[in-house]
Amino acid sequence: MSVLSAEIARRRTFAIISHPDAGKTTLTEKLLLFGGAIQLAGAVKARGEQRRAHSDWMKVERERGISVTASVMTFDYDEKTFNLLDTPGHEDFSEDTFRVLTAVDSVVMVIDAARGIQAQTKKLFEVCRLRDMPIITFINKMDREAQDPFDLLDEIEQTLQIEVTPASWPIGMGSGFLGCYDLMGDQLLLMDKGSRGEKPHQVETCSGLDDPKLDKLLPDHALSDLRDQVEMVRGLCPEFDESAYLAGNLSPVFFGSAINSFGVSELISGLARHAPAPRPQPAIERKILPEDDKVSGFVFKIQANMDPRHRDRIAFVRLCSGHFKRGMKLKNVRTEKHLALHNAVLFLARDRELAAEAWAGDIIGIPNHGNLHIGDALTEGEVLRFTGLPSFAPEHLRAARPEDPMRAKHMGRALQQLAEEGAASVFKPRVGSDWIVGAVGVLQFEVMADRIRTEYDVPARFESTSLITARWLESDDEGKLKDFVRKNEGSIADDHRGHPVFLARNAWHLDRAQEDWPDIRFVNTKEQTI
């Protein structure tokens, strides 16, 4: 096996998805803890300095205790290199999550044991299914009163239409939750409840459920229940089939309590064993294989102001093929310009280090000043256009105005930067001086106002408008498109890339335009290929 193939085989690039408050960020921290990337897990809802999850680095995230932007963390465990992408749980930030799912090879779906499948979980799961994404399920919060494990498995199967097979099984729940039995390895792992923030060291193993050691480790009622339940599980659920998992048709299920570190060891070991190495990536020209010698990658996210001391902008790049070395030149296919990459970085949330080298499957950050956009392809010269990076028509539109009219230009620059990182859609109407900002969810406006104020020192407000939606305009006849834009200039704006957009006042306004101009396409989902 070549060095390139060996390094690619070691990579596991995955995202964590969930409904808000399912415990995703806590699980992320415990995975970092087990991977040795951090020494003490910080509680998201703790006070003072502790109130900062390692993956929630934005000021607004630390204040609210929620994740509103995707973050990347790279760490090693069990001779594997993990690239973990933590995604926003809140549905108002789902567009960021959809883009992140184009940059990973598998997913961990976190479910609250008391609440089961929730709306956002289902929505994100459907996106994974569209991409045939392998999914591992982690049922969290077993240390609280929870639904019956068999009911949870049945709900996942019925609601998400995917087969499930438990990889571990919980011993009790709520205050009586003692740990998990590893069904794949036939061993028991009991961990110390008292050390929430530290990596637990007490691990007990046994050989099967008939091991006499179990009588000393577990109370009689717990052991009896465990034996009965495991017998039922093995009779009712299919055996784990790796090919079915990799095809996205079967999900292994781990039970645990992230805050108490229960089940995390089994989960990370399961990822190391079963999650796929980097997979081929789709492009218009051809399928890109990780083992291709030449380096290629695509920008799936732009983040401004990760370091508040510098007005920096980092382009997050998923490497799709080859072996990246510091200082190499890559071509931006859209601009046809070559970039000498001396300062590319690897991430641990906001912390970063210079990337001396990286391999297909890794996520690197490239500092830039607006010359890279979401969807850009970087190659060693080949013209490639990667597919599948979505932009969605906003469901909410508001006018953005600075508190101080003299700061209008500064606010415009701030909005442009936030649009380039995918935080929201920003439109400049052809008529009038207002900026129109579009968002998938209303909480985005609050977060944007906070970021514009704190990161750019421009107090701004978002005011309601008479507009209900925006549609990108496309046509096979360039002349007809120009004619439509000229005759409807009062309803036309340009997005941050200069693409024409139709701003509709109401449903009738949009329907009438579509009827009168059948050669124009009014697009509500735009794929960001270049």
Strand positions, DSSP E, 356-408: 357-359, 363-367, 377-379, 390-392, 396-402
Residue 40 sits in the same domain as residue 170:
yes
Same-domain pairing of 308 and 451: no
The identity of residue 373, as a single letter, is: H
Please tell me the distance from the alpha carbon of residue 139 to that of residue 262, in angstroms, as a whole number.
Answer: 11
283 Cβ partners below 8 Å, 6+ apart? 377, 384, 385, 386, 387
One-letter identity of residue 521: R
Are residues 194 and 287 both part of a single domain? no
Tell me if 499 is assigned to some domain. yes
Are 451 and 493 in a shared domain? yes
Residue 285 backbone phi and psi in degrees, to 5: -75, -40
User: Rounded to whole angstroms, how far apart are CA atoms 81 and 75?
Assistant: 6
Q: Say if residue 517 is in the same domain as residue 375.
A: no
- Contact yes or no for 425/417 (Cβ under 8 A): no
H helix and E strand count, the chain: 14, 32
State whether 59 and 129 are in the same domain.
yes
Last residue of a domain, one of 334, 350, 379: 379
Pair of tokens at residue 442: 């209303």
- Nearest alpha-carbon partner for 105 in 74, 132, 137: 132
Task: Tell which of 349, 379, 409 closes a domain.
Answer: 379
- Domain assignment present for residue 397? The answer is yes
Split into its structural domains, the chain has a count of: 3
- Of the candidates 303, 373, 378, 375, which has an alpha carbon nearest to the alpha carbon of residue 526? 375
Q: Are residues 265 and 351 in the same domain?
A: no
What are the backbone dihedrals phi and psi of residue 513, each rounded to the nearest 5 degrees, phi first?
-65, -40
Cα 356 from Cα 252, distance rounded (Å)? 36
CATH number of the domain at 447, please. Answer: 3.30.70.3280
Sequence-distant (6+) residues with CB within 8 A of 39 are: 33
Residues 113 and 244 in one domain: yes
Q: Could you tell me if residue 366 is inside a domain?
A: yes
Cα–Cα separations (whole angstroms), residue 10 to 271, 287, 301, 471: 11, 21, 24, 43
How do the pLDDT tens digits run along the chain, 530 residues long?
789 999 999 999 999 988 878 888 889 888 888 877 655 444 333 333 333 344 444 454 445 444 434 578 888 888 899 999 877 644 544 566 777 888 999 999 999 999 888 877 777 787 787 778 999 999 999 988 989 999 999 999 998 889 999 999 999 888 888 888 888 888 887 766 665 555 554 566 777 888 888 888 889 999 999 999 999 998 889 999 999 999 999 999 999 998 888 888 889 999 999 999 999 998 889 999 999 999 999 998 877 655 555 556 788 999 999 999 999 999 999 899 999 999 998 876 456 678 889 999 999 999 887 688 888 999 999 999 887 666 667 778 999 999 999 999 999 988 988 887 776 789 999 988 789 998 877 777 888 888 888 888 899 999 999 898 899 999 999 999 999 999 999 999 998 888 899 999 999 999 999 999 999 999 877 665 44
- Give the strand pairing for 281-282 and 250-255: unpaired
Q: Which letter does DSSP use for residue 503 in this model?
A: E
Look at residues 112, 128, 66 and name the one whose alpha carbon lies nearest to residue 441.
66
Angle in degrees, CA 67, 348, 253, rounded to 5: 65
Residue 334 lies in a domain: yes
> Do 501 and 439 share a structural domain?
yes
Model confidence pLDDT, tens digit, residues 350-392: 566 788 899 999 999 998 876 888 889 999 999 998 876 666 6
CATH of the domain at 351: 3.40.50.300
- Asked which of 348, 379, 410 is the last residue of a domain, the reply is 379
**Are 352 and 433 part of one and the same domain?**
no
Task: State how far the Cα of 137 lies from the Cα of 124, in Å rounded to an integer.
Answer: 13
Integer Cα distance of 220 and 227 in angstroms: 11
Q: Is residue 385 part of a domain?
A: no
Same structural domain, 409 and 450: yes
Q: Which residues touch 162 (CB under 8 Å, ≥6 apart)?
A: 129, 135, 156, 248, 249, 250, 251
- Are 192 and 64 in the same domain? yes
* pTM for this predicted structure: 0.76
Range of the domain at 355: 281-379
For residues 278 and 184, what is the distance between their CA atoms, to the nearest angstrom? 24
How distant is the alpha carbon of residue 425 from its chain centre?
Answer: 19
The answer to whether position 384 is within a domain reads no
DSSP 260: G
Phi then psi for residue 155, to 5 deg, are -65, -40
